[in-house]
Amino acid sequence: EELNSAATEVAAMLQTHGGVPRLVRALNRQRTHNVNVGAAYPFLAGSLLCMLNRCLEHNDIDAVLNAMMLAQSFYRCDDGPSGDGSGGGVGGDGGSGMRGSSGGGKREFLKTALEKHPLWRDESFWHQALQLCVAKQQLQLSTLRSAERALEDGYNDEVNADGSRIEYEQIDHNILCWQMAAEDGPDDSEDAAEQVKSTNTIIFAQMGGIVHSMLEFGLAKDEVQGFVSSVCEENEMGEEHREMLMAHVAASAR
Protein backbone atom coordinates (compact mmCIF):
# COMPACT_ATOMS: atom_id res chain seq x y z
CA GLU A 1 0.00 0.00 0.00
CA GLU A 2 2.80 2.42 0.91
CA LEU A 3 4.71 1.56 -2.28
CA ASN A 4 1.59 2.10 -4.40
CA SER A 5 1.03 5.48 -2.77
CA ALA A 6 4.67 6.46 -3.28
CA ALA A 7 4.58 5.39 -6.94
CA THR A 8 1.47 7.51 -7.54
CA GLU A 9 3.12 10.48 -5.88
CA VAL A 10 6.29 10.09 -7.96
CA ALA A 11 4.28 9.81 -11.19
CA ALA A 12 2.49 13.06 -10.34
CA MET A 13 5.77 14.76 -9.44
CA LEU A 14 7.29 13.82 -12.80
CA GLN A 15 4.60 15.84 -14.57
CA THR A 16 5.63 19.01 -12.74
CA HIS A 17 8.41 21.42 -13.62
CA GLY A 18 11.63 20.16 -12.07
CA GLY A 19 10.14 16.75 -11.28
CA VAL A 20 12.60 14.77 -13.42
CA PRO A 21 15.79 16.24 -11.90
CA ARG A 22 14.32 15.74 -8.42
CA LEU A 23 13.85 12.03 -9.11
CA VAL A 24 17.36 11.75 -10.58
CA ARG A 25 18.88 13.39 -7.49
CA ALA A 26 16.91 11.13 -5.15
CA LEU A 27 17.95 7.96 -6.97
CA ASN A 28 21.56 9.08 -7.17
CA ARG A 29 21.57 9.55 -3.40
CA GLN A 30 20.09 6.08 -2.95
CA ARG A 31 22.66 4.63 -5.34
CA THR A 32 25.46 5.61 -2.97
CA HIS A 33 23.88 3.55 -0.18
CA ASN A 34 22.21 0.51 -1.69
CA VAL A 35 21.39 -0.66 -5.22
CA ASN A 36 19.47 -3.85 -4.39
CA VAL A 37 15.91 -2.50 -4.44
CA GLY A 38 14.17 -5.82 -3.82
CA ALA A 39 10.38 -5.58 -3.70
CA ALA A 40 10.49 -1.95 -4.83
CA TYR A 41 11.73 -3.06 -8.28
CA PRO A 42 8.39 -2.82 -10.17
CA PHE A 43 7.62 0.57 -8.66
CA LEU A 44 11.02 2.00 -9.55
CA ALA A 45 10.69 0.52 -13.03
CA GLY A 46 7.33 2.24 -13.42
CA SER A 47 8.81 5.53 -12.23
CA LEU A 48 11.66 5.32 -14.74
CA LEU A 49 9.22 4.49 -17.54
CA CYS A 50 7.18 7.58 -16.61
CA MET A 51 10.41 9.56 -16.58
CA LEU A 52 11.33 8.32 -20.06
CA ASN A 53 7.90 9.30 -21.38
CA ARG A 54 8.31 12.76 -19.89
CA CYS A 55 11.81 13.09 -21.36
CA LEU A 56 10.58 11.95 -24.76
CA GLU A 57 7.81 14.53 -24.65
CA HIS A 58 10.27 17.34 -23.86
CA ASN A 59 13.28 15.98 -25.78
CA ASP A 60 15.32 15.93 -22.56
CA ILE A 61 18.30 13.87 -23.72
CA ASP A 62 20.45 14.53 -20.67
CA ALA A 63 17.77 13.17 -18.33
CA VAL A 64 17.44 10.05 -20.49
CA LEU A 65 21.18 9.44 -20.15
CA ASN A 66 20.77 9.70 -16.38
CA ALA A 67 17.87 7.25 -16.47
CA MET A 68 19.98 4.80 -18.47
CA MET A 69 22.78 4.98 -15.92
CA LEU A 70 20.36 4.46 -13.03
CA ALA A 71 18.65 1.55 -14.78
CA GLN A 72 22.01 -0.20 -15.05
CA SER A 73 22.74 0.38 -11.35
CA PHE A 74 19.63 -0.81 -9.50
CA TYR A 75 18.59 -4.46 -9.43
CA ARG A 76 16.71 -7.19 -7.59
CA CYS A 77 17.80 -10.76 -6.92
CA ASP A 78 15.84 -13.91 -7.67
CA ASP A 79 16.96 -15.73 -4.53
CA GLY A 80 15.01 -13.87 -1.83
CA PRO A 81 14.39 -15.80 1.38
CA SER A 82 10.68 -15.79 0.66
CA GLY A 83 11.21 -16.93 -2.93
CA ASP A 84 9.51 -13.80 -4.24
CA GLY A 85 12.55 -12.33 -5.95
CA SER A 86 13.06 -9.71 -3.27
CA GLY A 87 16.66 -10.73 -2.65
CA GLY A 88 16.37 -9.60 0.94
CA GLY A 89 14.53 -6.38 0.10
CA VAL A 90 15.94 -2.89 0.12
CA GLY A 91 18.39 -3.92 2.80
CA GLY A 92 20.08 -6.41 0.45
CA ASP A 93 23.76 -6.79 -0.30
CA GLY A 94 24.18 -3.29 -1.71
CA GLY A 95 26.83 -4.46 -4.16
CA SER A 96 27.97 -2.75 -7.30
CA GLY A 97 25.62 -4.75 -9.52
CA MET A 98 28.50 -6.45 -11.31
CA ARG A 99 28.83 -9.57 -9.13
CA GLY A 100 26.57 -12.44 -8.15
CA SER A 101 24.40 -11.95 -5.09
CA SER A 102 25.40 -13.34 -1.71
CA GLY A 103 22.93 -16.17 -2.25
CA GLY A 104 24.23 -16.99 -5.71
CA GLY A 105 21.09 -15.79 -7.46
CA LYS A 106 20.88 -13.81 -10.66
CA ARG A 107 20.52 -10.05 -10.57
CA GLU A 108 17.80 -8.48 -12.68
CA PHE A 109 18.61 -4.87 -13.44
CA LEU A 110 16.01 -2.16 -13.97
CA LYS A 111 17.14 -1.80 -17.57
CA THR A 112 15.34 -5.08 -18.30
CA ALA A 113 12.03 -3.37 -17.58
CA LEU A 114 12.90 -0.48 -19.91
CA GLU A 115 14.11 -2.39 -22.96
CA LYS A 116 10.74 -2.30 -24.72
CA HIS A 117 10.44 1.49 -24.59
CA PRO A 118 10.15 2.89 -28.16
CA LEU A 119 12.79 5.53 -27.48
CA TRP A 120 15.62 3.04 -27.97
CA ARG A 121 14.45 2.27 -31.52
CA ASP A 122 14.62 5.96 -32.48
CA GLU A 123 17.98 6.42 -34.22
CA SER A 124 17.70 10.20 -33.92
CA PHE A 125 17.78 9.81 -30.13
CA TRP A 126 21.13 8.04 -30.28
CA HIS A 127 22.52 10.72 -32.59
CA GLN A 128 21.40 13.41 -30.14
CA ALA A 129 22.81 11.44 -27.21
CA LEU A 130 26.17 11.19 -28.99
CA GLN A 131 26.14 14.90 -29.80
CA LEU A 132 25.45 15.75 -26.16
CA CYS A 133 28.23 13.47 -24.88
CA VAL A 134 30.68 14.95 -27.38
CA ALA A 135 29.67 18.51 -26.46
CA LYS A 136 30.17 17.76 -22.76
CA GLN A 137 33.66 16.40 -23.35
CA GLN A 138 34.53 19.38 -25.55
CA LEU A 139 33.36 21.71 -22.78
CA GLN A 140 35.50 19.87 -20.26
CA LEU A 141 38.55 20.23 -22.48
CA SER A 142 37.77 23.90 -23.12
CA THR A 143 37.35 24.47 -19.39
CA LEU A 144 40.73 22.91 -18.66
CA ARG A 145 42.42 25.01 -21.34
CA SER A 146 40.75 28.16 -20.03
CA ALA A 147 41.81 27.41 -16.47
CA GLU A 148 45.39 26.83 -17.60
CA ARG A 149 45.42 30.12 -19.50
CA ALA A 150 43.97 31.90 -16.49
CA LEU A 151 46.84 30.71 -14.33
CA GLU A 152 49.41 31.56 -16.99
CA ASP A 153 48.01 35.07 -17.33
CA GLY A 154 48.55 35.73 -13.65
CA TYR A 155 44.98 35.80 -12.41
CA ASN A 156 46.22 35.27 -8.87
CA ASP A 157 48.37 38.40 -9.08
CA GLU A 158 45.37 40.71 -9.48
CA VAL A 159 44.47 43.01 -6.60
CA ASN A 160 41.33 44.67 -5.33
CA ALA A 161 40.82 48.43 -5.28
CA ASP A 162 42.22 48.52 -1.74
CA GLY A 163 45.41 46.79 -2.86
CA SER A 164 44.61 43.40 -1.32
CA ARG A 165 45.23 40.25 -3.36
CA ILE A 166 42.25 38.56 -5.00
CA GLU A 167 42.30 34.99 -3.72
CA TYR A 168 40.91 33.12 -6.70
CA GLU A 169 41.72 29.84 -4.99
CA GLN A 170 38.87 30.55 -2.62
CA ILE A 171 36.35 30.88 -5.44
CA ASP A 172 34.44 27.71 -6.22
CA HIS A 173 36.53 25.96 -8.87
CA ASN A 174 33.61 24.76 -10.95
CA ILE A 175 31.94 28.18 -11.13
CA LEU A 176 35.19 29.87 -12.14
CA CYS A 177 35.89 27.32 -14.85
CA TRP A 178 32.36 27.46 -16.27
CA GLN A 179 32.48 31.26 -16.43
CA MET A 180 35.81 31.26 -18.22
CA ALA A 181 34.65 28.55 -20.62
CA ALA A 182 31.55 30.57 -21.50
CA GLU A 183 33.66 33.64 -22.23
CA ASP A 184 36.27 31.71 -24.17
CA GLY A 185 35.73 32.09 -27.90
CA PRO A 186 36.94 29.81 -30.67
CA ASP A 187 40.66 29.53 -31.23
CA ASP A 188 41.11 31.17 -34.64
CA SER A 189 44.71 30.04 -34.81
CA GLU A 190 43.80 26.36 -34.72
CA ASP A 191 43.93 24.72 -38.09
CA ALA A 192 40.53 23.54 -39.36
CA ALA A 193 41.86 20.08 -40.17
CA GLU A 194 43.21 19.69 -36.64
CA GLN A 195 39.84 20.76 -35.26
CA VAL A 196 38.08 18.07 -37.29
CA LYS A 197 40.64 15.50 -36.16
CA SER A 198 40.17 16.51 -32.53
CA THR A 199 36.38 16.29 -32.81
CA ASN A 200 36.53 12.88 -34.46
CA THR A 201 38.82 11.63 -31.69
CA ILE A 202 36.20 12.67 -29.13
CA ILE A 203 33.40 11.09 -31.19
CA PHE A 204 35.36 7.85 -31.38
CA ALA A 205 35.91 7.86 -27.61
CA GLN A 206 32.22 8.51 -26.88
CA MET A 207 31.00 5.92 -29.37
CA GLY A 208 32.24 3.10 -27.16
CA GLY A 209 29.78 4.03 -24.43
CA ILE A 210 26.96 4.69 -26.89
CA VAL A 211 27.44 1.29 -28.55
CA HIS A 212 27.46 -0.42 -25.15
CA SER A 213 24.21 1.32 -24.15
CA MET A 214 22.49 0.47 -27.44
CA LEU A 215 23.23 -3.21 -26.93
CA GLU A 216 22.33 -3.08 -23.23
CA PHE A 217 18.91 -1.64 -24.03
CA GLY A 218 18.02 -4.35 -26.49
CA LEU A 219 19.08 -3.16 -29.94
CA ALA A 220 20.20 -5.87 -32.34
CA LYS A 221 23.77 -6.13 -33.56
CA ASP A 222 22.86 -5.08 -37.11
CA GLU A 223 20.98 -2.02 -35.83
CA VAL A 224 24.02 -0.88 -33.87
CA GLN A 225 26.31 -1.54 -36.82
CA GLY A 226 24.04 0.58 -39.00
CA PHE A 227 24.29 3.41 -36.50
CA VAL A 228 28.08 3.14 -36.41
CA SER A 229 28.24 3.29 -40.21
CA SER A 230 25.98 6.34 -40.24
CA VAL A 231 28.08 8.21 -37.67
CA CYS A 232 31.35 7.37 -39.42
CA GLU A 233 29.99 8.52 -42.77
CA GLU A 234 28.49 11.75 -41.42
CA ASN A 235 31.74 12.72 -39.72
CA GLU A 236 34.08 11.39 -42.41
CA MET A 237 35.87 9.24 -39.87
CA GLY A 238 38.76 7.10 -41.04
CA GLU A 239 38.46 3.44 -41.93
CA GLU A 240 40.61 2.49 -38.94
CA HIS A 241 38.15 4.07 -36.51
CA ARG A 242 35.23 2.45 -38.31
CA GLU A 243 36.79 -1.01 -38.18
CA MET A 244 37.63 -0.65 -34.50
CA LEU A 245 34.07 0.39 -33.67
CA MET A 246 32.62 -2.47 -35.69
CA ALA A 247 34.92 -4.89 -33.87
CA HIS A 248 33.71 -3.43 -30.57
CA VAL A 249 30.10 -4.03 -31.60
CA ALA A 250 30.86 -7.62 -32.59
CA ALA A 251 32.67 -8.31 -29.32
CA SER A 252 29.98 -6.70 -27.15
CA ALA A 253 26.89 -8.09 -28.90
CA ARG A 254 24.97 -10.73 -27.00
Give whole-number Cα distances, 241 to 111, 156, 164, 230, 251, in Å.
29, 42, 53, 13, 15
Q: Are strands 107-109 and 75-77 parallel, antiparallel or unpaired?
A: antiparallel
pLDDT tens for each residue of 14-28: 888 888 999 999 999
Give residue 27's domain range: 1-80+106-119
Q: Among residues 156, 248, 160, which one has the least CA distance to residue 209?
A: 248
* 42-56, 111-125, 147-161: segment of lowest average pLDDT: 147-161
Q: Which residues pair with residue 215 across a beta bridge?
A: none
Mean pLDDT over all residues of the chain? 79
One domain, residues 221 and 140: yes
52's CB contacts (< 8 A; 6+ apart) are 64, 67, 114, 117, 119
The pTM is what? 0.70
What is the total count of domains within the chain? 2
CA angle 197, 125, 9 (to 5 degrees): 135
Instruction: Let me know whether 192 and 72 are in one domain.
Output: no
Q: Is residue 32 part of a domain?
A: yes
30 assigned to some structural domain:
yes
Q: Are residues 115 and 147 in the same domain?
A: no
In tens, the pLDDT along 184-233 reads 544 555 567 888 888 999 999 999 999 999 999 999 999 999 999 999 99
3-state DSSP assignment of residue 159: strand
